[in-house]
Amino acid sequence: MGDRRREVPGTDRVLADPRVAAAVRRLGHERVVRTVREVAQRARDGLIPPTRVVADTVAALPDSACGMRRVLNATGVLLHTNLGRAPLSAAAREALEVAAGTTDVELDLDSGERGPRGASAVAALREAVPAAEAAHVVNNGAAALALAATALAAGREIVLARGEMVEIGDGFRIPDLLTSTGARLHEVGTTNRVRLDDYRAALGPDTGFALKIHPSNFVISGFTAEVPVAELRDLDVPVVADIGSGLLRPDPALPGEPDATTTLTDGADLVIASGDKLLGGPQCGLLLGRAEIVHRLRRHPLARALRVDKLTLAALEATVRGPRPPVTESLHRTGLPERAAALADSLAAAGIPAEAVESRATVGGGGAPGVDLPSAAVALPVRFAKQLRLGIPPVMARVERHRCLLDLRALDPADDEALRRAVLDAH
């Protein structure tokens, strides 16, 4: 009997297969060759027959050079941090395609000379928030706050309410960030109550600015009191407001959520916000406000380390200037009970115990804490949660009261069919 190892196809022969050649174009030569050799070695070791080398190589190769995979968000959390927060609009994705090549991100085409970086994105923000005299963009909300603290209060004091010294996701604490810049914190008030006189009493020659922080992911209720920006504006120091979730203008779906336009109109000198939350764009930090302050931040040496790339600038501009992004669509979505009923009926007809139920969705991502949004879901046996998570495409559901709930509030109606197929595959 001959040596079966001689029957194992050579690397060049495997690479010549059209399916493997397509993978080379998609993933690169080195990665595919490495996989071919690994599979071929399994054949030489007798673990698989030589005839399976090509098929097993194709099966072992990913669909994309990127390790991230598209996930259907059926959690009922509109801005799910673990799922990348705000999904980008079609306009923003198209802008990414343009920005992926060579662009005029820092070039004045009229003169041929160097131009202001991301000028069109900044102009879009100014148009969207006329109350802002100037705007600047950094790589996230924490970076925006760190830049403000460094440029305006390093070696000085930041006055803020004790109840706004918050911790957000992954153990990240606002006080730690602020003190890391060299600023000192002067806490005022108590955990649940603070008055304007508390701020006034704290001011002194070392005060850099007064800071208001959005509570992000919790609500204090009961015997409480806070000082709005409209009252802080009379203090003899700059007022910086971190509104967190990134609304540029009021949204009737979230009447209690702070927005940049109102906060600036009320008297804030600088507003800080995130781009990948309720704004619905890419991860970035927005700094909007008085021209003198924004210019000071832009020219600070730290600003270079915190600047964003051309992809972020392009997606941000397209989000601000384009049609409503997916997160805004989710906030104002209608017809949810009808979608849930249709999906449940279709699954039940296939023999799957599915039921349309009422549900409650949340904004997530530190936006609108304590606010529930009416929604609808399809309830399945709890075993479906893991099976759907491991499927193709993966589906993230919510487990509640020993049921797997597929909440439709954050899911585009165009994805209902993909969700239905995923459940059928998991059955």
Q: Look up the CATH number of the domain holding residue 414.
A: 3.90.1150.180
CA neighbours closer than 13 Å in the CB half-sphere of residue 121? 31
Both tokens assigned to 289: 């406000």
Give the burial class of 373: count Cβ atoms within 10 A of its Cβ; 0-12 exposed, 13-18 middle, 19 or more buried: buried
79 plus 116 within the same structural domain: no
pLDDT in tens, 394-425: 999 999 999 999 999 999 999 999 999 999 99
Residue that is last in its domain, among 307, 323, 339: 323
Both tokens assigned to 253: 């779906």
Identify whether the C-beta of residue 104 lies closer than 8 Å to the C-beta of residue 310: no
Count of CB atoms situated within 10 Å of the CB of 49: 12
345 plus 250 within the same structural domain: no
Q: Is the residue at 310 inside a domain?
A: yes
pLDDT in tens, 228-246: 999 999 899 999 999 988 8
Q: Closest Cα partner for 317 from 145, 12, 91, 113?
A: 91
Q: Is the residue at 67 inside a domain?
A: no
305 plus 351 within the same structural domain: no
396 plus 411 within the same structural domain: yes
Average model confidence (pLDDT) for the chain? 94
Tell me how far apart the alpha carbons of residues 205 and 188 are, in angstroms, rounded to a whole number: 17
130 plus 183 within the same structural domain: yes
Q: Is the residue at 352 inside a domain?
A: yes
DSSP 235: S
Tell me how far apart the alpha carbons of residues 151 and 181 are, in angstroms, rounded to a whole number: 9
Q: Is the residue at 66 inside a domain?
A: no
SS (H, E, C) 278-341: CCCCCCCEEEEECHHHHHHHHCCCHHHHCECCHHHHHHHHHHHHCCCCHHHHHHCCCCHHHHHH
The answer on pLDDT for 384 being more than 80 is: yes
pLDDT in tens, 149-196: 999 999 999 999 998 888 776 777 889 999 999 999 999 999 889 999
263 plus 388 within the same structural domain: no
Q: Is the residue at 210 inside a domain?
A: yes
Residue that is last in its domain, among 272, 292, 323: 323
pLDDT bucket at 1, cuts 50 / 70 / 90 = very low
Average pLDDT rounded to a whole number, residues 46-69: 91
16 plus 120 within the same structural domain: no
312 plus 358 within the same structural domain: no
CB within 8 Å of 154: residues ≥ 6 apart: 181, 182, 183, 208
* Strand intervals (E) in 115-170: 134-138, 157-161
pLDDT in tens, 256-305: 899 999 999 999 999 999 999 999 999 999 999 999 999 999 999 999 99
Question: CB under 8 Å, gap of 24 or more: what pairs does 251-257 form?
Answer: 251/278, 251/328, 251/331, 253/331, 253/332, 253/373, 254/278, 254/331, 254/363, 254/367, 254/368, 254/371, 256/368, 256/371, 257/367, 257/368, 257/371
235 plus 346 within the same structural domain: no
In this structure, what CATH number is given to the domain that contains residue 201?
3.40.640.10
The pLDDT score that the predictor gives to residue 303 is 96
Q: Is the residue at 65 inside a domain?
A: no
Q: Is the residue at 343 inside a domain?
A: yes
The pLDDT score that the predictor gives to residue 391 is 93
234 plus 301 within the same structural domain: yes
Average pLDDT rounded to a whole number, residues 379-386: 97
pLDDT in tens, 60-91: 998 888 888 999 999 999 999 999 999 999 99
**Comparison of pLDDT for 193 and 3, the residue scoring more:** 193
Does residue 393 have a cis bond before it (omega within 30 degrees)? yes
The pLDDT score that the predictor gives to residue 365 is 83
Q: Closest Cα partner for 68 from 79, 58, 83, 56?
A: 83
Torsion on CA atoms 336, 342, 344, 345, rounded to nearest 10: 160
The pLDDT score that the predictor gives to residue 218 is 67
pLDDT bucket at 216, cuts 50 / 70 / 90 = low
CA neighbours closer than 13 Å in the CB half-sphere of residue 324? 10
Count of CB atoms situated within 10 Å of the CB of 307: 17
Instruction: Quote the domain boundaries for residue 410.
Output: 72-83+328-426
Q: Is the residue at 305 inside a domain?
A: yes
76 plus 206 within the same structural domain: no
Q: State which amino acid sits at residue 319.
A: T
The pLDDT score that the predictor gives to residue 244 is 85
Residue linked to tokens 């706004």: 164
Average pLDDT rounded to a whole number, residues 85-98: 97
143 plus 248 within the same structural domain: yes
The answer on pLDDT for 2 being more than 60 is: no
The pLDDT score that the predictor gives to residue 79 is 95
Residue that is last in its domain, among 323, 343, 360: 323
Run of H or E residues at 239: strand 239-244
Q: How many domains does the chain have?
A: 3
Tell me how far apart the alpha carbons of residues 15 and 25 are, in angstroms, rounded to a whole number: 11
